[in-house]
Amino acid sequence: MPNQCRLLILLCLVSGNLRGQVLDATSENQEAFFRRQVLPIFEAHCYPCHAHNSGQIEGGLALDWRSGWELGGTRGPAVVPGRPEQSLLIRAIEHTDPELQMPAEPLPREHIALLKEWVQRGAWDDRQTAPQPTEDPLDWWSLRPLVSPKIPSAPASHPIDAFIQARLDENRLTHSPPASPRALIRRLYYDLLGFPPSPEDVARFVADPSDAAYERLVDRLLASERYGERWARHWLDTIHFAESHGYEHDIGRDHAWPYRDYVIGALNDDVPWATFVRQQLAVDWFWPESTELLPALGFLAAGTFDLSTYSTGPVTFDYLDRDDMVHQTMSAFVSSTVNCARCHNHKFDPVAQEDYYALQAVFAGILKGDIPYDTDSLAARTRSQLENELRAIKDLDRQMLFSADAQQRVATWLDNHHSATPWSPLRLQSFASTDGSILTHTEEDRIVVSGPNPETDTYILAGKISIPRLSALRLELFPDPSLPMQGPGRCHNGNLHLSEIKVLLFAPQAQTAQELRLVHASADFNQEGWGVERAMDGDPKTAWGIFPEVGKPHTAIFELHESTIIPDGSTITIQLQQLHGGSHLIGSFRLSMIDAPSAAIRPMPAYIEAALQQPAENRSDQQKLQIAAHVLTQDVEQRLAALPARRSVYAAGPLVQIPAGNGNFQEARRATPKPVHLLQRGEMSKPLHEVFPGTFAISPNLPSRFVLDATEDAQDASATESWRRAALAQWIAHPDNPLTWRSIVNRVWHYHFGRGLCATPNDFGRMGDSPSHPELMDWLAIWFRDTAGGSLKRLHRLIVTSRTYRQSSEVRGDAASLDNENRLLWRQHRRRLDAESYRDSVLVVSGQIDWMMGGASNPNFQQSPGAQLTPSLDYHSYDWSLPGARRRSIYRYVWRGIPDPLMAALDFPDLGLLAPVRGESSSPLQSLSLYNHPFVLFHSQAMATNLAAEHPTVSDQITAAIERLYQRSPKSEELTRFEEFAQRMEIAAFCRVLLNSTEFLFIE
Amino acid sequence: MQRRRDLPLDPSRRQSMLSAGSGFAALALGQLLLRDDHLPATEQPRPQVRRVIQLFMTGGASPMDTFDYKPELERLHGQMLGPKEKPEGFTAPAGAIMKSPFEFAQHGQSGRWVSSLFPEQAMLVDEMAFLMAMTTKTNVHGPGTYMMNSGFLLPGFPCLGAWVSYALGNLTDNLPTFVVLPDPRGLPYNQKGCFSAGFLPAVHEGVVIDAAARNPVPDLTADPRFEFTGAQQDREGLRLLAEINQAYAAKHPADPRLDARIASYELAAKLQLSAPEAFNLADETELTSRLYGLDQSITQDFGRRCLLARRLIERGVRFVQVWSGPQGATNNWDNHGSIPNELPPMAASVDRPIAALLRDLKNRGLDRDTLVIWTTEFGRTPFAQGGTGRDHNGGSFVTWLWGAGIKPGVTYGKSDDWGYQAVEQKTWCYDLHATILHLLGIDHLELTVRHNGIDRRLTDVHGHVIHDILSS
């Protein structure tokens, strides 16, 4: 019975409570209080993370219906009606419990008071059902599957014009008349190539502006290599490509340019879009043999690199660096702002927070830095074979080392070795040091060094040799009781550092000395990080050392590139530069020469020497293996060295050399991808479960989580990470991904009209712009994907041959009153030259342009050491007559954090972030730059000189200038005025005015 | 400018025009239409602050050796009480607790503790409002300096000065709106990233002024080695340019960008005329020069730039940024090696100039609408690094504000007993920026630009105006 009693009492309490609520005389007030005061607080501050329609129910707690807070989340009921002090919700918003503080930004005090009052008064809440999602998240113009729209039936014969005209008709608007031939050819040149046509090109087209002639012109321009140079920069903007790290240590990336050349090449070759996607994300997976394409991976490394955080805050670095790659990849290829889902599910688009971290996991196995690659894929194959052989040799693989072929090579080597001629010492005639060390000649042609012990020194020795040819020289170091730690160095620890060795041949009767080129160095011992090759690498900052093997003799051998004839009576001079400092100087040594194959002379480890001294029949099996390994190693290394040199590209991969300033690099390796965790509210201190590679769900045909295909070579592939990137590339490049195809046609449209059909090229989500012509966009996307096979050139051709593209850009009052923004395209847009087009055009019209393609970027600044690793750049003192100064702007060295003031004044973007759209500002500071910048003035002068050379009279010079800049002839009253000006002020002053004029800076 | 006065341009329209990002007319009009005397009179009451000077101590100025007195450090000196594992962004494991090597004393009515490093500022503490519990998200210079200037750890976002220029435009046609005076020994961390307009139109970028150069404003005049750029050719060239640009605009009507270009050259000419005068410190009195410390080598450079800041503000520049110290291992506030050796010369180089600047602004009545902010990217550890240095610490640092709209002599926030972490009234860059914008008459929630799918604000999704330090 007592139990029953208790139950009854409980029931009474509960029902009493309920009755209290329902029958409360003030329930109307309660309702008003809830709706007007309480609900708005929930909606504004709690729903973003705790509501069905936000797609986010953090901690399992939903606050958008009554049962949500009654049941509560993982911590239990959130509200105890009538008991604010027991309600988790109230504790959370009061921020009294350090473990439970919600929202992160404290609510205003008055809001907290209102919620407490609501709980105190019984937590009236009549929201009885959980809200249903109001909208299918995939029901959005950019996410819907691509379905070919019907081309509107219009008199227009061109599909683009049909779509445009249909909308114009609806709004009682009409296309504008065609642009004049002169305006049209100018527009086309700028759009496709980025500079104006020559007066001859203009004259030819004006004489025959027929459709056929126009189409021939379009084809000619699209076939020009200048096209790739023009359009590459658009893509580089989109992905914030620059050639320095940004942030605190804004270090240059001298090997970023191969990626830029890759983009130019891919555009000129019209690589299909899907291929372009796959190459940039995972060329190493899809085309591992085509090593020459490796620079495509520069895509992933286009953005910033925070070296300081990389060094001191590795966890922070990883999440932020991957964020940059994710953001860039998804913005550039699918116009999606997935990075908005870093702290919570995307508020507007169907990207869950988990999806965002799945995308981070795609990039969890790569780092950014220089990666060597073979520009010749055949060499790459050979290199890979030889490297495999080296590994087998190192593992003392019996099968390989005892193979007939290998034993044959060993036998030959042993023959050479035994028949080797002896070394002949350099018979010294003079020897001295530049900084005060005293060199003394002792027995057996040795030198012992004594006397003052300078920080650095260079020994210079000259003498004769008795052999007719020379292929190598040997530097022997000896211990000596006079030296610290017995030497052989003069440093307190017995060490030495040989920075560079130089060998000069003075033939009798020769006017000058000949420096003999060294190609290989070897030594019996190399100090860690101080290998002997550093003594002949041309860099005085690096050197050979022998620590800790002091007190012992050592040998280094330097080989010439070929056996060189030494004419009788020649003198050989040898410089031993020891520039490291700290008296790392040689204490006792001897120099000798030889002409012999390298196999016979290279120093060998002591155990090989010992093995060789045994009669062949006495050698143990192990010794035979070691000898074979020694011989074959030399052999393979020689063949490796003979391969064409590799190039480096700043790109992304599991093993990279990070540019670390002053020509130094930090090696970085990711043996396996790092685990990626979902971060609660994006906070690095709050990692939740691990997330695996994937992306967001967009279509049933496109899985949003990636797994390695079992049919692939799992062993090999799981050891690498490239399959993750490859899977994302497949998702993006898939024909059923509607975003990809809409995104690229919109980008191309944007650059032809100054604005995309969707005005936010990087955001096709609910926060972005809605397209002005959605059917046209879909039609173009499908046509581009299927009919054009992803060919950008065919897309350009389609667009620029439309009437819509070719119409005049003049504003018509009637149309402007209806559609001032010209979203319906009743005219073409008048556009200002972007920074590159301006700079390139100046070079073209001044007759100075250098059309050289590709290769390392040209700095348009003087560089000097800065306060720390970032150099100091001086743009204003740059000499514009230097070679390279006249190349196209795409070959400029673009320093992220220290922009070129002239280009910045013309709206070259801040490449800390993606720049899918350029600004078109004008300001007094821009005017000052255009009027006074040395580049403009230099080329005003150059143009004047160039005009004078071609045209004898001022009048002709003026006419030619106007033709070059404006693609027309001067009117007679203009000519009179300009002549009058030029007579008094010089032609250069006139050119300066023209290079500032609106007609030059705007494209009709 | 006169002829544009009739064009209505309310702030919301300005925003919608500019936020489209795709440019065209709106962008081209640029700052020509953005002067605040063009705003309709219906706008809110005149803001208290119309101009700002931001003094930025590069490297992370130590709070516990300047304004944040911590007697507890004396008691615990030498004890190993810091974190066992190196926190992210520390450059070395934490050493022992280290007391400040400098004497502290209380000053003014407010009784603020100030160390012996700042004797001049100590006399003015009753005029300042101190934020004693500033905190940030990073212990690394690059992201930290970005954060205090743009509100984001990442590059590419507009800095405070650029937002102010974007929101309010200029006060004069004769000088740039946003001027930066970097340390002549080198740029701060992030190079020019902290003066950047980010995704705002390029016109809002900070103009770096080198007062000692022939061209203090870049390209103010032509290099005389180009012989065709003499005064007469310059003038007549501009006249011809105006003619042909006008003819072009007339032929292509209804495109305001074409008119904007004509106006830009007119304004450029005005700037050419007025800039040299603004940058010429020679017409200051000897007394003023001495006041700013121009007569002493240690204060000469920063003093000159503070004086220049006053001249620019006086002539209508909206926002001036003055940097103390370049990036790098020396000559700044990043005192890893030795607080007793490295900090005093830095402190001495700014103390007198700053005090002079505040007194001078006041004497000229400029304090009525000028705000001065002293800040840095983060604080330093209460633990020693090496022997007597201090490492980076984003946990707590100090900022002060002075001038129009500021409640004098107040303190807001408190750090823990070591000065390691902010504990009471924690203040983020978001709150500081929200407060500055508020003083300028701008609601930080309203000042937004749509960029790549997000309505971006200087204050991200955070920020509370700190009413406790405001006079009204």
CATH code of residue B439: 3.40.720.10
Residue B397: closest CA among B48, B147, B51, B44: B147
From the CA of A510, how many Å to the nearest CA of chain B?
A: 46
Name the residue among A763, A816, A832 with its Cβ closest to that of B452. Answer: A763
A925 touches chain B (CB under 8 A): yes
Phi, psi values for residue B191, rounded to 5°: 50, -115
In a domain, B196, yes or no: yes
The chain A residue lying nearest B272, using CA atoms, is A928
What residues of chain B, 355 to 384, have a C-beta less than 8 Å from chain A?
none
Q: Is some CB atom of chain A closer than 8 A to the CB atom of B462?
A: yes
Kindly list the distances between the CA atom of residue A745 and the CA atoms of A272, A273, A334, A467, A756, in Å, as whole numbers in the listed order: 13, 11, 11, 72, 9
Position A800 scores a pLDDT of: 98
Chain B: give the shortest CA distance to residue A919, in Å. Answer: 6
Residue spans of beta strands (DSSP E) within A465-610: 469-477, 500-506, 514-515, 518-523, 554-565, 571-578, 588-594
The CA distances from residue A726 to A676, A737, A744, in Å, are: 18, 15, 20
The answer to whether residues A158 and A803 touch, using CB atoms and an 8 Å cutoff, is yes
Q: How far apart are CA B414 and CA B422, in angstroms?
A: 6
CA distances from A357 to A351, A353, A406, A670, B236 (A): 10, 7, 52, 19, 62
**Gap from B424 CA to chain A (nearest CA, Å):** 13
Antiparallel, parallel or unpaired: β A367-373 and A571-578: unpaired
- A492 Cβ contact list (under 8 Å, min separation 6): A484, A485, A583
Specify the pLDDT at position A505: 92
Q: CB distance A811–B253 less than 8 Å?
A: yes
Q: What is the greatest pairwise CA distance in chain A?
A: 129
Q: Is A481 helix (H, G, I), strand (E, B) or coil?
A: coil
Predicted confidence at residue A1, as pLDDT, reads 36
Which spans in A396-482 are helix H? Answer: 398-401, 404-418
Of A316, A915, A923, the CB nearest to B30: A923
What tokens appear for A471 in the block?
A: 């292929």
Length, in residues, of chain B: 472
Residue B270 counted as domain residue: no
Q: Is pLDDT of B104 > 50?
A: yes
- Show Cβ contacts of residue A213 under 8 Å, excluding neighbours closer than 6 positions: A205
Strands B411-412 and B128-134, sheet pairing: parallel
Between CA A845 and CA A945 the distance in angstroms is 12
Could you give the angle at the alpha carbon of B245 between the alpha carbons of B240 and B246, nearest 5°? 100
Per-residue pLDDT, A184: 98
Which 8-state DSSP code applies to residue B295? T
Residue B257 lies in a domain: no
Residue B47: which pLDDT band, with cuts at 50, 70 and 90?
confident
What is the tens place of the pLDDT at every residue in B106-162? 999 999 999 999 999 999 999 999 999 999 999 999 999 999 999 999 999 999 999
**Quick check: is B461 in a domain?**
yes
Residue B23: its chain A contacts at CB < 8 A? 754, 917-920
CA distance A175 to A623: 88
* Residue contacts between A and B (CB atoms, under 8 Å): 298
- What are the DSSP calls for A589-635, one per residue? EEEEEE-S-HHHHS---HHHHHHHHS-GGG--HHHHHHHHHHHHHHH
Query: Other CB atoms closer than 10 Å to residue A949's CB: what's the count?
Result: 10
Model confidence pLDDT, tens digit, residues A618-665: 888 888 898 899 889 888 988 898 899 999 999 999 999 999 988 889
Instruction: Summarize pLDDT for B416-445 with one digit per residue, the tens.
Output: 999 999 999 999 999 999 999 999 999 999
Chosen for mutation from A895, A993, A995, A1000 (greatest number of chain B CBs closer than 10 Å) is A993
Give yes or no for a contact between B390 and B384, defined as CB atoms under 8 angstroms apart: yes
Assigned token pair, B141: 């210079």
Q: Which residue of A has its CA nearest to B202?
A: A907
Q: Does residue B331 belong to the interface with chain A, where contact is any CB pair within 8 Å? A: yes
Residue A926: list chain B partners with CB under 8 A. Answer: 202-203, 264
Is-cis flag, bond preceding A103, omega within 30?
Answer: yes
Q: Which of residues 931-960 of A touch B (CB under 8 A)?
A: 931-934, 937-938, 940-941, 944
Kindly report, residue by residue over B149-198, the tens digit of the pLDDT.
999 999 999 999 999 999 999 999 889 999 999 999 889 999 999 999 99
Q: How far is CA B95 from its chain centroid?
A: 33
On the question of pLDDT at B14 being above 70, the answer is: no
β-bridge mates for residue B402, sequence order: B128, B372
Q: Give the Cα separation of B425 and B398 in Å (integer).
A: 13
Average pLDDT, chain B: 89
Q: Give CA–CA dist B335/B64, Å, rounded.
A: 13
Q: Quote the pLDDT of residue A182.
A: 97
Percent of chain B with pLDDT over 70: 90
Q: Which two tokens stand for residue A615?
A: 């009669």
- What is the pLDDT, as a whole number, of residue A792? 98
CA–CA distance, A330 with A863 (Å, rounded to integer)? 35
CA–CA distance, A606 with A634 (Å, rounded to integer): 16
The residue whose two tokens read 């709070």 is B63
Q: At what angle do helices A181-192 and A199-207 cross, to 10 degrees?
A: 130
Measuring CA to CA, which residue among B64, B62, B60 is closest to residue B104? B64
* CB burial of residue A722 (10 Å; 0-12, 13-18, 19+): buried
Dihedral (CA of A345, A350, A354, A359) sign: negative
Which are the contacts of A823, defined by CB distance < 8 A and separation ≥ 6? Answer: A772
The candidate with the shortest Cα–Cα distance to A871, out of A146, A250, A246, is A250
- Does an H or E element contain A727, and which? helix A722-733
Of B30, B232, B241, the CB nearest to A996: B241
User: φ, ψ for residue A470 (rounded to 5)?
Assistant: -140, 130
Q: Which residue in A74, A99, A95, A89 sits closest to A120, CA to CA?
A: A89
Structure tokens that stand for A610 in this block: 């010992």
Q: What integer pLDDT is reported at residue A710 of this predicted model?
A: 56
Q: Which residues is A470 bridged to in the sheet? A: A564
Please indicate if any CB of chain A lies within 8 Å of the CB of B153.
yes
Cβ count near B98 (within 10 Å): 23
Q: Does ipTM exceed 0.90?
A: no
pLDDT digits (tens, 9 = 90+) for B212-242: 777 888 899 999 999 999 999 999 999 999 9
The amino acid present at B253, given as its one-letter code, is P
Tell me the nearest-neighbour CA distance from B250 into chain A, angstroms: 12
What's the rounded Cα separation, in Å, for the pair A568 and A443? Answer: 26
Q: State the Rg of chain A over Cα.
A: 37
**Cβ–Cβ below 8 Å for A928 and B267:** no
List CB contacts (< 8 A) between B226 and chain A: 934, 937-938, 940-941, 988
**CATH number of the domain located at residue range(s) A421-595 in this protein:** 2.60.120
In chain A, where the domains are located: 2-120, 157-175+737-832, 181-222, 230-373+650-733, 421-595, 834-905+922-1004
Nearest CA in chain B to A762: B452
Residue B419 resides in a domain: yes
Cβ of residue A332 closer than 8 Å to a chain B Cβ: no
Is B452 within 8 Å of A913 when comparing Cβ atoms?
yes
Domain count, chain B: 1
Q: Is A997 on the interface with B (CB under 8 A)?
A: yes
Identify the pLDDT of residue B5.
25
- Cβ distance of B155 and A896 shorter than 8 Å: yes
Note the pLDDT of residue A27: 64
Q: Say if B374 falls within a structural domain.
A: yes
Domain span holding position B47:
9-228+284-469
Helix (H, G, I), strand (E, B) or coil at A460: strand
**Which residues in A lie closer than 8 A to residue B217 (C-beta atoms)?**
925, 928
Could you give the dihedral angle defined by the CA atoms of residues B358, B361, B367 and B368, in that order, rounded to the nearest 10 degrees?
170
- What does chain A come to in residues? 1004
Q: What share of chain B is helix, strand, coil (3-state, %, to 5)?
A: 40, 15, 45
A521: number of Cβ within 10 Å:
23
Q: Say if A808 is an interface residue toward chain B (CB within 8 Å).
A: no
Neighboring chain B residues of A934 at a CB cutoff of 8 Å: 223, 226
DSSP string for B193-245: GGG--TTS-GGGSPEE--TTSS-SSTTSS--TTSGGGSHHHHHHHHHHHHHHH
* Of B23, B186, B268, Cβ closest to residue A920: B23
C-alpha atoms less than 13 angstroms from C-alpha of B451 in its C-beta half-sphere: 21
Among the partner-chain residues B20, B142, B270, the one whose CB lies closest to the CB of A247 is B142
pLDDT of residue A26: 60
Query: Residue A414 is which amino acid?
Result: L
Residues of chain A with pLDDT under 50: 1-25
Measured between alpha carbons, how far is A961 from A969 in angstroms, rounded to an integer? 9
pLDDT digits (tens, 9 = 90+) for B291-344: 999 999 999 999 999 999 999 999 999 999 999 999 988 999 999 999 999 999
Specify whether the CB–CB gap between B314 and B46 falls below 8 A: no
Q: What is the dihedral of CA B384, B385, B391, B396, to 10 degrees?
A: -10
- Whole-angstrom distance, CA of residue A247 vs CA of residue A262: 26
pTM: 0.81
Per the omega criterion (within 30 degrees of 0), is the bond before A488 cis?
yes
Closest to A292 in 3D by CA, of A382, A399, A375: A375
- CA distances for A710 relative to A281, A362, A716, B275, angstroms: 21, 18, 12, 71
Nearest residue to A38 (alpha-carbon basis) of A126, A106, A97: A126
Contact A578/A584 with Cβ under 8 angstroms? yes
